[in-house]
Amino acid sequence: MLYLLGLPCFAISEEPTVIFEDGYVVKIYSDGSGTIGKKFDPKSTLSCNSFSCDYKREKANSETTFDDEWSFQVKNDEMDDEQIITVRRYPHKISDQIGEMKLKSDIYLWVNLSQSSREVLCVAGHDYPGLTAMIRVDSKKAIETNENGCLSLSNSLDNQLRSGLKVVIRGSHWPYKSPETKSISLDGYRVMTDFLRARRR
C-alpha cells in the first residue's frame, strides 16, 4: 500500500499485452514501453537457495522471463508526431549465491531503430569530453564510436549482433576518465530487432 499526504492509497498495476515469439516473451504496456526476454528456466538457478531464487522458481509461469531483458519504448514525438523506437539493455549475471542480478554500471547498450535508413547503436552513459567509446562483438575486431558514444548500426554490424553471443562495451562516464568495460548478452537480439522493425510506420 502507498501513502499520499498521510492517507492510504492503492496503486493499480497495469497488466501488459503478452506475445510469445520464438521462445521469448514480449510484454507491451499501454504507454508503448515493454520488454522482450527469454522464457525463464527454473533449472538455471537450482544451485541458488536464496529467498529470491526460491520465490521465482515457485511462482514461474509461461510468462516469466529472465531478468536480463531488452527494454524498449515505442512512442510518437510530442512536437512532430515522429515515431521513436529505442531499446536498452544492461549488464547482468547469474551467481550461485544470489541468482540473477543486474550489475552496477554507468554504461549500457542503447539502440535507436526509429528509421530504417538511420539506425544507431550507442554506449549510453559514455559522456567524457574528447573520448570515444568502443564495442566488440564476440572475438571480432573492436569498433570505435564517435565522442557521443554512438555509431551507425550498419548491415554488417547488425549481422554480427544477430549471430553473436555477447557484445563488450567500453565507455567513460564523467567525471571519471578511466573507462568502464562491461559484457552484455545478445540473447534475443534477433527476435527484438525483428519484432520492433515490423512495428515501424
Which residues are 73's β-sheet partners? 33, 86
pTM beyond 0.85, yes or no: yes
For the chain, which residues make up each domain, given as ranges? 13-197
Res 2: pLDDT: 47
Q: What are phi and psi of 40, to 5 degrees?
A: -70, 135
Query: Is the per-residue pLDDT at 88 higher than 80?
Result: yes
- CA-CA-CA-CA torsion for 190, 192, 195, 198, nearest 10 degrees? -80
Q: For 127-159, write each residue's pLDDT tens digit.
A: 999 999 999 999 999 999 999 999 999 999 999
- Does a cis peptide bond (omega within 30 degrees of 0) precede residue 175? yes
Please give the Cα distance from 11 to 27 (Å, whole number). Answer: 20
pLDDT in tens, 9-45: 555 568 999 999 999 999 999 999 999 999 999 999 9
